[in-house]
Structure 1
């Protein structure tokens, strides 16, 4: 087991945060590494151990709050960590409480971490294509505003997700994005097989900028291409692997 790799965003400053990958965990097999996904077939005790390692790498005294992600555009305020069987079915969470680590799990979808350093409010969102299109980042910003944040003071960072060269889709997929805004065509290019490829990271960045966020940062890390560092659902599917891990992205307010 190697040490946990923590990818940080300049825009989030000194707040405890990180976009983790698979390095530094105790899982073996298809999920080898730092698998924190309760939905995987990995051993539950191993997953719990990986979660402890992840928390220790970011803010050892914190509680980890995660949600049951359903590709929605819903956000909730977290005051404490929920038991696993009571996690709300949403895709974003925000807080103004110290020592509460807000965690999002991904394996190709885009994790987005938010911080208003002035109001001391943080947030985390899981932006797959469905949630991104439906407005999960907008819902996160609105939930932060309820806690006193100002959107022009919010910094947001988009972490590891599948990059456009590896995100082949079909014409129906592209049509879903063109229907609400024909200008969304700029997030698609034709791939080598003649099928469209979607730029999820760029689209999420666009939504954040359009919402009036003060600063947006993209880490430009491709989950599909770097199997040594990140889990990828699509890569596992293409390889015919029976299971895949999930990585954690999290942020907290220190006590």
Structure 2
């Protein structure tokens, strides 16, 4: 076996999916493991092989579809692999069997969605910019346009940077609190004066609940704090490394 770890969410039971970390894979050095980031400086052959291993671990034989992520609220509805360049977007939805839609992360929150009855699934990349910009809301709306129901949609938030590991400055906190004063609850005092610890996972979960989703699950896995299991942009930067790997979260229909 490849040793690839596919983490499952109870909320998505019965739906083909997996939150993959860095275990397994063929990359070496600072990318060691299952680095799927085409935007990294890792060997192209290793990234391509890792993507094949990721697909094989979740839905063997499926066609992998990803987008050019830009920290936006943009969502793309897909029914086949893109014939040319990947569109710039941060979420995908589909009702086409045989496709695996994937989101890459390295601290940002991956969110997988499913309405089993309607046969509609989605995946969103929710970094702080996309999260406050409404990427989960646009994903849900695109699923509804394909026949999904908000009340039936289940969503799971995969491995991302946790509050204890995510220190931000006052300007960052002010931006969220200006958007909605209730967002103050996602910030606690930081270790340094004028800084705060931000609960990205909690914020995304609240956005999902406010959107009327039937079930929301947060896995509570901290990418920063578990270097053997996950890639982390912030951890790599703190370590002075020149680049970082990316992990992938996948969902599809048989």
* Pair in the same fold by TM > 0.5: yes
- Where do 5+ consecutive residues of structure 1 fail to align? none
2:35 equivalent to 1:35: yes
Give the corresponding residue for 2:226: 226
Give the corresponding residue for 2:133: 134
Structure 1 residue 16: deviation in Å? 1.1
2:198 equivalent to 1:198: yes
Give the corresponding residue for 1:56: 56
2:102 equivalent to 1:103: yes
Q: Within 5 A, what are the aligned runs for 1:79-228?
A: 79-83=79-83, 86-194=85-193, 195-228=195-228
> 2: distance between equivalents of 1:55 and 1:98?
14
Structure 1 residue 82: deviation in Å? 1.9
Question: Secondary structure at the residue paired with 2:179?
Answer: coil
Structure 1 residue 23: deviation in Å? 0.1
Contact 2:2 2:53 in 1 (8 A): no
Structure 1 residue 192: deviation in Å? 2.1
The C-alpha deviation readout for 1:138-177, integer Å capped at 9, x for no partner, is 0000000110001111000000000001100001100110
Question: Secondary structure at the residue paired with 2:245?
Answer: coil
So what's the TM-score if we normalise by structure 2?
0.98
CA RMSD, 1 decimal: 1.0
> Which of structure 1's runs of 4+ aligned residues deviate more than 2 A?
none
The C-alpha deviation readout for 1:85-128, integer Å capped at 9, x for no partner, is 51110000000000100100000000000000110100000000
Contact 2:27 2:34 in 1 (8 A): yes
> 2: distance between equivalents of 1:141 and 1:166?
29
> 1: distance between equivalents of 2:2 and 2:172?
39
Give the corresponding residue for 2:251: 251
The C-alpha deviation readout for 1:2-38, integer Å capped at 9, x for no partner, is 5101100011112110000000010001100000000
Decide which moves more: 9-18 or 120-129: 9-18
> 1: distance between equivalents of 2:82 and 2:107?
25
> 1: distance between equivalents of 2:79 and 2:6?
25
